[in-house]
Amino acid sequence: PAQPSVMAPGLLGLYARRLLAAAATRGRLAAPVRWESSSARAVIAPSAAVGKRAPEPTVHWQEDPEPEDENLYEKNPDSHGYDKDPVVDVWNMRAVFFFGFSIVLVFGTTFVAYLPDYRMHEWARREAEKLVKYREAHGLPIMESNRFDPSKIQLPDED
């Protein structure tokens, strides 16, 4: 069993955290009156800044939008991101989609799909099957280890 004197700082921490959480989520107005906590020695008072405007940030953070950055969505909420002028923007979008997707990608894919026997692989397969059939029918070996006729190779002299 924990002693009360040991528990109190823990409770103080716990309640203080709850209060802080409440203050954070509900803002400065979470404490409209001054009150003292009965469980801990915390005193909650309304902030002296209630009713006053928050000071404008004097420090320019890197994450703030740059003033000269133009948000294309402001003037033209339907912006496609190409241009400020909405007409040019839409036509640019159409040009890119039409020429990029409808012409190049579609026709290009079709072209590549219907390429006739790229690098003659299909011919090679048919030719190989034909030769194997011929050689098996004539009792010749299917393949020889010499690609070229050894009698035709002329070697240079031994140096």
- Which residues would be at the binding site for other proteins (CB under 8 A)? 61-66, 68-73, 79-85, 88, 91-93, 95-97, 99-101, 103-105, 107-109, 111-113, 115-116, 118-121, 156
Residue 114 CB, nearest distance to other proteins (Å)? 10
Q: For residues 13 and 108, which CB has a smaller minimum distance to other proteins in the complex?
A: 108
HEC sequence for the chain: CCCHHHHHHHHHHHHHHHHHHHHHHHCHHHCCCCEECCCCCCEECCCCCCCCCCCCCCCCCCCCCCCCCCCHHHHCCCCCCCCCCHHHHHHHHHHHHHHHHHHHHHHHHHHHHCCCCHHHHHHHHHHHHHHHHHHHHHCCCCCCCCCCCHHHCCCCCCC
Q: For residues 45 and 95, which CB has a smaller minimum distance to other proteins in the complex?
A: 95
Q: For residues 35 and 97, which CB has a smaller minimum distance to other proteins in the complex?
A: 97
Q: For residues 3 and 69, which CB has a smaller minimum distance to other proteins in the complex?
A: 69
Closest by Cα among 62, 8, 64, 67 to 40? 8
Residue 159 CB, nearest distance to other proteins (Å)? 9
Residue 63 CB, nearest distance to other proteins (Å)? 3
Residue 95 CB, nearest distance to other proteins (Å)? 5
